[in-house]
Amino acid sequence: MIRGRHRSVVETEAGFTLLELLVVLVIIAVTAAIAFPKTRGESGALALRSTAVGIAAEFRTARADAIRTSTSRSVMIDVARRKYWADGESNAHQIPAAVEVSATFGNSGSTALATLSFEPDGSSTGGRVSLSAGKSKAHVIVDWMTGATQVDRSF
Where would I find the beta strands (DSSP E) of 7-135? 73-78, 83-86, 93-94, 100-105, 113-118, 127-133
pLDDT of residue 134: 87
Which residues partner with 132 through β-bridges?
A: 100, 137
Domain ranges for the chain, please list them.
Answer: 18-154
pTM of the model: 0.71
- Per residue in 29-59, pLDDT (tens digit) is 888 877 766 555 557 888 999 999 999 999 9
What own/partner pairs with CB < 8 Å and gap ≥ 24 does 104-108 have? 104/128, 104/130, 105/142, 106/144
- Per residue in 68-87, pLDDT (tens digit) is 999 999 999 999 999 999 99
pLDDT of residue 3: 58
Q: Is 148 in a helix, a strand, or coil?
A: coil
For 18-154, CATH gives 3.55.40.10
- Per residue in 91-124, pLDDT (tens digit) is 899 999 999 999 988 866 656 788 999 999 999 9
